[in-house]
Structure formats: C-alpha cells, structure tokens
Structure 1
Amino acid sequence: MGCSSGKLCLYSQCAAARREEALKQRKELSQELVNLRGELA
C-alpha cells in the first residue's frame, strides 16, 4: 500500500482498504458469534 505499517496512514486509498478489511473481519466475527450462540442454545 505504500505506507509504513507502524504509522497511522492518512492516504484515502489506504484508509479505505483498512476500513474494508476491518468491516470484513467484523462480519466474520459476527457470524462466528452467531454460530457459537447456536451451539450453546
């Protein structure tokens, strides 16, 4: 992405990619939580 991983990236393209990745992870975690709740029920 062209930015150093240790610093906050302010480039919009990079920020959009990070946001997209975060949303994807959130969706996966939400689905995992639903699955775990189903196993416990």
Structure 2
Amino acid sequence: MGCASSRLCLYPQCAAARREEALKQHKELSQELVNLRGEL
C-alpha cells in the first residue's frame, strides 16, 4: 500500500484492505472457537 499510515487511512483501498484482514482474522478465530468447544 502506498499509504504511510494505513491504520488510520480512510482511502477506500486502505479501508478495504483493513476490512479484508479483519474478516480473515474473524474467520480464523471463529474456527478456533469451534475447535476449542469440541475439545471440552
């Protein structure tokens, strides 16, 4: 990304990249939660 402060950047490209990363992390954490519940 050509933005030095991408964490605070409001340009659509930066916002889309942050959203995509957040969705990926959410999916990973949801899967981890399902796995942990299965172990209980």
Q: What TM-score results when the alignment is normalised by the length of structure 2?
A: 0.85
Contact 2:9 2:15 in 1 (8 A): yes
RMSD: 1.6
Structure 1 pair 7–22 and aligned structure 2 pair: CA distance change class (3 A) = closer
Aligned residue pairs total 40
Unaligned runs of 5+ in 1: none
Provide the identity percentage.
88
